[in-house]
Amino acid sequence: MAKKIIPLIASTLAVVGAVDPTLKIKTFVDVMPLKWDFDPVKASYWTGLLHHRRTPFAVSRDGNTGYIAYLDPNGTGVHVQHIEPSTMNIKGPDVTIENVYEAGGIVAYNHGFALLGNEPIPSTTSNAPPSGTDYPQGTPVPAIYQIINDV
């Protein structure tokens, strides 16, 4: 599978300001090779119309750890890539969270992250919200995943 490169101009501007506001603005175009193909424009499961899927990005409070989350090419999982915020290079292995159909947001810690995802639950689940969509795996509901890396 070919690796896809994400252009991170806008995200980088936010990172530079968050890490150290005295730094001059830097841009890093096409520097982050991702393990999985990535296409942010997908048909929505609720209308079938094309729209941009979220690609959340976050930097830890100390500015040393960053994470970017993106939907995998088949749309059935979210990949979270650990990066070095000052260079936008990959810092560690990616984490795949299966059966998550969109990444709604991410919070970076010094030693891990928390991801807000959208996962399906079967419509037969007790007290499940009504579906009203053509979501084949069930009703989409928000879920939070926390990953803590070993120190």
Sorted by where each begins, the domain ranges of the chain are 36-148
Average pLDDT over residues 9-31: 58
pLDDT tens for each residue of 73-124: 777 789 999 998 888 888 888 899 998 888 889 999 888 999 999 888 776 7
81 strand-pairing partners = 68
